Amino acid sequence: MQISETHKAWGEKVRHEREKKGWTIARLAAESGVHETTILRIERGTLIANDDLKWKLAGIFQARMDWLWAWPTITPPIPEAVAS
């Protein structure tokens, strides 16, 4: 399975929030009621959470609701010729 940049970015967002709380993957899995493998796959970008899990994660992270639904913005790299 090819990992899309969007999936990767969303997974990084989840990992960042988990690490901000100082939690392990096991702790986030227990708090959200899913298996550790699910959290690991989300953070790696190989799985996007379903809507129920997104709601749980938003509550756990005490995140704004737009965090729950928003896909991360992916900014393409600027070619060197344009950046110079």
Predicted confidence (pLDDT) per residue in 51-75, tens digit: 889 889 989 999 876 766 665 554 4
- This prediction has a pTM of 0.75
3-state secondary structure string, 43-74?
Answer: HHCCCCCCHHHHHHHHHHCCCCHHHHHCCCCC
Low-confidence ranges of the chain (pLDDT < 70): 1-3, 65, 67-84
Q: What's the confidence (pLDDT) of residue 10?
A: 83
Task: Give the span between the Cα atoms of 27 and 22, in whole angstroms.
Answer: 10
| Domains of the chain with CATH codes | 5-72 (1.10.260.40)
Question: Which residues does 82 contact at the CB level (< 8 Å), separation at least 6?
Answer: none
Task: Give the span between the Cα atoms of 20 and 38, in whole angstroms.
Answer: 19
Q: Which amino acid is at 25?
A: I
